[in-house]
Amino acid sequence: AAGVVDDAADWRWSSARSHIANQRASDDPLTDVAALSRHVPNWRAMLRHGLEAGELTAAGEDVAQTIKSRLNTGRPLATPEWIANHEARIGRIMSPQRPGPKPKAPANLA
């Protein structure tokens, strides 16, 4: 569709390119980068994760990305020891398994 982009920085009329680069893009005569940077220090994180992430450092953005990936899979974000302990307690596998079909149990030949 016309005007559809995957990234805000790719949209022709967006100021995102200027904010991500922390300087006005040559084809962006209007954006006041300094003024808005006081309100959103990390534009890349804000565009990727939402307004609350605009204050994240690079390390914080990595944590946000990890949380987002876990939300997509439904798997807990915890240490392997915590996961193993809770798997044993509830009798359910929570850690990632090998992808693909699982081998079938051999038929009982009696």
Q: Which residues contact 66 (CB under 8 A, 6 or more apart)?
A: 77
Domains held by the chain: number: 1
**Structure pTM?**
0.40
Range of the domain at 58: 8-90
d(CA 76, CA 62): 16
- Asked whether residue 23 is assigned to any structural domain, the reply reads yes
- Asked whether residue 2 is assigned to any structural domain, the reply reads no
Which pLDDT belongs to residue 46? Answer: 74
Three state DSSP letters for 70-82: HHHHCCCCCCHHH
What's the pLDDT tens digit per position in 63-95? Answer: 777 777 887 888 887 888 988 999 999 999 888
More confident residue, 52 or 72: 72
Q: What is the DSSP string of 17-76?
A: HHHHHTS--TT-SS--HHHHHTT-S-HHHHHHH-GGGGG--HHHHHHHHHHHHHHHHT--
